[in-house]
């Protein structure tokens, strides 16, 4: 494990260009075939949490709330889900035990439910293909092209997740639960790693802390838009052009590499990690492992790129963690949360 706290020890030297490009190519190939890195067979419901429904332009949205052990209302963190977010429970509840640890640390946990392939953004329009209305085909419970004409969230209406998290949900937490809506934390994995940074960059009054685990932190890299397009089709059959057109300035709003100056100006406390893309002895060698290695390689390229950019801006309020082994899966994201927890606890509320 390599932990780099900027402002103290110097960051380790970035990977060589040839190695990074090779890793990127492997990762893009993995994304293009569609990755379901962490298989989910049944929901691991945690009875310590409760359902919290909030109205929005997207309709009623379910959230899972886990109260801090000491009953405080001023220490709050949002746990954002990944690209294959489900509509019953948040992946952090399904695949990890982080809620229990956060509660013991006297932190209130807010887990929004849903938002598959949304990037937690406000979309330009509902997701459709070739102008064909959503729901024209039944689709299937699987992934990929079979779902491009099916209905569902973000297809019969436009996703408005950024507005939801920073207005509808924020206000409901304050008005109905008494939660403090300043100096909150937010963290995410994969798709939502960059989303967590986006929320902190543009809503510093709400979020003073952001964590990204295996996030896509440089969407400006030449191959990234194509990789995201392929992954969104595979994860629910979503059209990236409904989120924003290729030349839209919205991509600057969603790209941590581009909005890094805001994080520096806000003095946001950051925790950023990405694995080496090498599997551990417990991962085993399988198709899922190989796919997870490729996707993590893409994350590592983008994360290193963001680190270089942020460093050039003089950004110092950040810890980077690059484990010697780690692929794109929930086991590693859960481990990262436990590493981050003391820092999170010391900087929110």
List of domains in the chain: 2-37+53-347 (3.40.50.1820)
CB atoms within 10 A of CB 141: 7
Average pLDDT over residues 228-245: 94
- In total, the chain counts a number of residues equal to 349
Does residue 33 carry a pLDDT above 50? Answer: no
Cα separation, 241 vs 257, in Å, equals 21
Q: Which residue has the higher pLDDT, 294 or 16?
A: 294
Q: What was the pLDDT predicted at 325?
A: 82
318 bridge partner residues: 270
Q: How confident is the model at residue 137 (pLDDT cuts 50, 70, 90)?
A: low
Q: What was the pLDDT predicted at 283?
A: 73
Does residue 130 carry a pLDDT above 90? Answer: no
Q: Which residue has the higher pLDDT, 72 or 134?
A: 72
Average pLDDT over residues 46-72: 97
Does residue 60 carry a pLDDT above 80? Answer: yes
Q: How confident is the model at residue 297 (pLDDT cuts 50, 70, 90)?
A: confident
Q: How confident is the model at residue 300 (pLDDT cuts 50, 70, 90)?
A: very high
Question: What share of the chain has pLDDT > 90, as a percent?
Answer: 69
Q: pLDDT (tens digit, 9 = 90+) per residue, 313-347?
A: 999 999 999 988 878 888 999 999 999 999 999 99
CA distances from 81 to 106, 111, 196 (A): 21, 8, 10
Q: Which residues are catalytic?
A: 190, 296, 328
Cα separation, 140 vs 162, in Å, equals 28
Does residue 40 carry a pLDDT above 70? Answer: no
Does residue 1 carry a pLDDT above 60? Answer: no
Give the 3-state DSSP-derived string for the chain, with helices as H, strands as E and coil as C: CEEEECCCCCCCCCCCHHHHHHHHHHHHHHHHHCCCCCCCCCCCCCCCCEEEEECCCCCCEEEEEECCCCCCCCCEEEECCCCCCCCCCCHHHHHCCHHHHHHHCCCEEEEECCCCCCCCCECCCCCCECCECCCCCCCCCCCCHHHCCCCCCCCCCCCEHHHHHHHHHHHHHHHHHCCCCCCEEEEEECHHHHHHHHHHHHCCCCEEEEEEECCCCCCCCCCHHHHHHHHHHHCCCCCHHHHCCCCCCHHHHHCHHHHHHHHHHHCCEEEEECCCCCCCCCCCCCHHHHHHHHHHHHHHHHHHHHHHHHHHCCCCCEEEEECCCCCCCHHHHHHHHHHHHHHHHHHCC
Q: How confident is the model at residue 143 (pLDDT cuts 50, 70, 90)?
A: low
**Which residues are CB-neighbours of 213 under 8 A, at least 6 positions away?**
187, 188, 189, 190, 193, 273, 274, 332, 333, 336, 337
Q: What was the pLDDT predicted at 293?
A: 82
Average pLDDT over residues 257-280: 93
Q: Which two tokens stand for residue 173?
A: 């937490």
Q: What was the pLDDT predicted at 144?
A: 61
Does residue 266 carry a pLDDT above 70? Answer: yes
Q: What is the β-pairing status of strands 108-112 and 76-79?
A: parallel
pTM of the model: 0.88
Half-sphere exposure of 249 (CA within 13 A, CB side): 0
Contact 112, 53 (CB under 8 A): no
Q: What was the pLDDT predicted at 295?
A: 87
Backbone phi and psi for residue 201, each to the nearest 5 degrees, phi listed first:
-70, -40
CB atoms within 10 A of CB 245: 12
Q: Which residue has the higher pLDDT, 31 or 182?
A: 182
Cα separation, 185 vs 181, in Å, equals 10
Q: Nearest CA to 237 among 120, 135, 161, 121?
A: 135
Q: What was the pLDDT predicted at 72?
A: 98
Q: pLDDT (tens digit, 9 = 90+) per residue, 63-99?
A: 999 999 999 999 999 999 999 999 999 999 999 999 9
CA distances from 282 to 239, 285, 286, 325, 338 (A): 36, 9, 12, 11, 19
Does residue 62 carry a pLDDT above 90? Answer: yes
Sign of CA dihedral 124, 130, 135, 141: negative
């Amino acid at each position: 494990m390599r932990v780099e706290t900027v402002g103290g020890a110097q960051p380790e030297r970035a990977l060589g260009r040839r190695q990074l490009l090779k890793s990127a190519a492997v990762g893009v190939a993995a994304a293009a075939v569609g990755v379901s890195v962490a298989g989910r067979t049944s929901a691991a419901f945690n009875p310590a949490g409760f359902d919290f429904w909030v109205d929005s332009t997207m309709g009623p949205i379910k959230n899972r709330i886990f109260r801090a052990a000491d009953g405080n209302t001023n220490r709050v963190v949002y746990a954002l889900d990944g690209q294959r977010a489900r509509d019953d429970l948040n992946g952090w509840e399904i695949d990890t035990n982080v809620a229990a640890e956060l509660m013991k640390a006297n932190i209130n946990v807010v887990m929004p439910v849903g938002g598959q392939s949304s990037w937690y953004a406000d979309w330009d329009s509902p997701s459709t293909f070739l102008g064909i209305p959503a729901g024209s085909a039944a689709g299937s419970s699987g992934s990929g092209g079979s779902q491009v004409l099916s209905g569902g969230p973000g297809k019969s209406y436009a996703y408005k997740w950024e507005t939801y998290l920073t207005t509808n949900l924020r206000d409901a937490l304050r008005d109905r639960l008494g939660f403090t809506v300043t100096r909150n934390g937010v963290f995410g994995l994969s798709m939502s790693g960059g989303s967590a940074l986006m929320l902190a960059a543009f809503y510093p009054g709400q979020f003073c802390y952001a964590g990204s685990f295996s996030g896509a932190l440089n969407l400006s890299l030449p191959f990234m838009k194509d990789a995201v397009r392929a992954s969104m089709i595979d994860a629910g059959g979503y059209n990236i052009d409904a989120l924003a057109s290729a030349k839209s300035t919205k991509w600057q709003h969603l790209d941590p590499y581009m909005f890094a100056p805001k994080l520096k100006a806000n003095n946001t406390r950051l925790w950023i990690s990405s694995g080496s893309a090498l599997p551990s002895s417990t991962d085993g060698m399988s198709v899922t492992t190989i796919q997870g290695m490729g996707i993590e390689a893409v994350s590592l390229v983008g994360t290193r790129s963001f680190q270089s950019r942020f460093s050039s801006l003089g950004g110092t309020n950040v810890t980077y963690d690059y484990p010697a082994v780690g692929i794109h899966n929930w086991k590693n994201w859960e481990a990262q949360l436990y590493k981050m927890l003391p820092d999170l606890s010391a900087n929110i509320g």
